[in-house]
Amino acid sequence: MGVFYELANPERFERIAKPLQPALTAIAVLLGGAGLYYALFNSPADYQQGDTVRIMYVHVPAAWMALFCYSVMAFSSAAGFIWKHPLADVSAKVTAPIGAVFTALALFTGSLWGKPMWGAWWAWDARLTSVLILFFLYLGYIAIWESIDDKARAARLAAIVAIVGFVNIPIIKFSVDWWNSLHQPASVFRDGGPTIDGSMLRPLFLMGAAYMIGFGAMLIAAIRNELMARRLQRLSEVAGRKASTVNVE
Amino acid sequence: MNGFLAIISRDVALGFKAGGGTVQTALFFALTALVFAIAVGPDTALLSRIAAPTLWAAALLSALVSLDRIFQADFEDGSLDVIVETADLLEGRVLAKAIAHWIAACLPLILATPVLALLLSLPAQGYWPLVLSLLVGTPALSFIGAISAAVTLSLRRAGVLIAILTAPLYAPALIFGVAAANAGASGAPNFIPSLLFLGAGTLFSMILAPLAGAAAIRFNMS
């Protein structure tokens, strides 16, 4: 926890984050470039799915990130809730739009893949439905931040929304699985090792790493943005107060 | 315990008074069923197949539109301040408010369900499973909804925001409720597993709602 307490000071955070942001961006671009090269040119087409299997290299990591971002959001919320860590609230707030975009990307690419494979843009299959519900949970969380002006209160209330959503995600997942299942079962993280050939796993993991590190870069950029926006708002409030006192005198 | 029962009886009494919301919610429930029936058309075979899901969806929507009543009026006239100040355990008071919402808003819907099911020509063997699934499942709607109502307490016209926050969390209750009701309506004898899962969800939300709701109220009042 020591490291996290040191980061509570925005200036210290800025000192660490400033060089980290371009470094992470560069690594993400390199990994993504290599991953795309393998995905598009240097991996076999699937014997059943043909070239459409290449959509998976964009789609699967996006779906991983959709869940990962929600976890980051919920744990940041809990940290802000329990330890009153100021950066935790900011990190929870700015993670939401990033996670929502990953979720939208997963839904969109999944739909592109579904048309040739299932013959439909959309099917009310268990995983599609639970990811769609996840997307709505993200939007609800963002809506709470948008509708409360007082930042401190918004942080506390949004944290409750995030945590309640997080404990409900397994229940939603389970209920939707019970409801209907058409999507293929998990084939990478399962007991007994992955069922995907190594030539396809390489681009998949490269893309996964690129997404993850890219998320780190975006998160740092978004936190810095938010901190600067808040400082700007404080400064303009102070300036406005000064101007009004001068007028009175 | 006295405060707990006092809040339930007060809220229920207020709900059943003119303008208290109980009658409006029940009317809204009936109208939603009517809207579905008109949209589907007079195809009796189709209607009888979708009767149970329609009534579940109508119950869910009715719960959604009545949620802002749980805390809003008490927040505006200041009685919520009194409740927060005098409660030895705020979590218990939140639970009482949610239970009162279920009695005042959901229980009347369940009583009206057999009549509406008749209009939607639900098969005869489907009545008991549908009513049973609503009895077991609708408390979860009140409990989960109480959390959103508490979070949006200090916002003006929070109705739509409450619906946005709550509807995704209602998915499990809807799925298991309709699964039990449908299995019963199609004559399958084993609608019990879905019913048990539904009950588990209700009990879980009964624990979650007081904790999250009381925290949200404290942050909104501070």
Q: What is the mean pLDDT of residues A213-230?
A: 92
A-chain residues near B147 (CB < 8 A) = 160, 164
DSSP string of A47-59, one letter each residue = TTTBGGGGGHHHH
- Tokens 């200041």: give the residue: B78
Is the pLDDT higher at A179 or at A167? A167
B100 pLDDT tier (thresholds 50, 70, 90): very high
Distance CA A207, CA A62 (A): 9
pLDDT digits (tens, 9 = 90+) for A175-203: 888 776 544 556 666 666 666 777 778 88
CB–CB of B179/A178 below 8 Å?
yes
**Residue of higher predicted confidence among B149 and B19:** B149
Give me the pLDDT at residue A187, please. Answer: 62
Phi and psi at residue B20, in whole multiples of 5°? -80, -15
Distance CA B182, CA B190 (A): 11
Domain residue limits, chain B:
2-221
- Is the pLDDT at B130 greater than 90? The verdict is yes
Query: Contact B179/A171, CB-based, under 8 Å?
Result: no
- The answer, for A140 touching chain B at a CB cutoff of 8 Å, is yes
Largest CA distance in chain B: 56
Three-class DSSP category at A130: helix
Interchain proximity B175–A137, CB inside 8 Å? no
Say if residues B210 and B94 touch (Cβ distance below 8 Å).
Answer: yes
Picking from B70, B151, B93, B64, the residue whose alpha carbon sits closest to that of residue A159 is B151
Total residue length of chain A? 249
The Cα of B192 is separated from the nearest Cα of chain A by a number of Å equal to: 14
Q: Looking at the predicted structure, is the pLDDT value of residue A243 above 90?
A: no
Rounded to whole angstroms, the Cα distance separating B24 from B20 reads 8
- Contact: A161, B165; criterion CB under 8 Å: yes
- Among partner residues B155, B175, B222, which is closest to A179 by beta-carbon distance? B175
Domain ranges in chain A are 23-42+49-185+198-240
Q: What pLDDT score was predicted for residue A182?
A: 45
Which of A164, A165, A142 shows the shortest CA–CA distance to A154?
A142
ipTM of this model?
Answer: 0.89
Question: Has residue A16 got a pLDDT over 90?
Answer: no
Mean pLDDT calculated for residue range A85-93: 89
DSSP H helical ranges for B78-191: 79-86, 90-101, 107-119, 127-151, 159-166, 171-185
| Contact between A157 and B165 using a beta-carbon 8 Å cutoff | no
- How high is the mean pLDDT of chain B? 90
The per-residue pLDDT for A197 is 72
Which residues of chain A lie closer than 8 angstroms to B207, CB-CB?
none
| Least Cα separation, residue B75 to chain A (angstroms) | 16
| Contact: B147, A164; criterion CB under 8 Å | yes
In a mutational test of the A interface, the residue from B169, B174, B196 whose CB has the highest number of chain A CBs within 10 Å is B169
SS3 B96: helix
The pLDDT assigned to A248 comes to 56
| pLDDT, tens digit, 9 for 90 and up, residues A17-65 | 889 999 999 999 999 888 888 888 877 777 677 777 788 888 989 999 9
Q: CA-nearest residue of chain A to B144?
A: A164
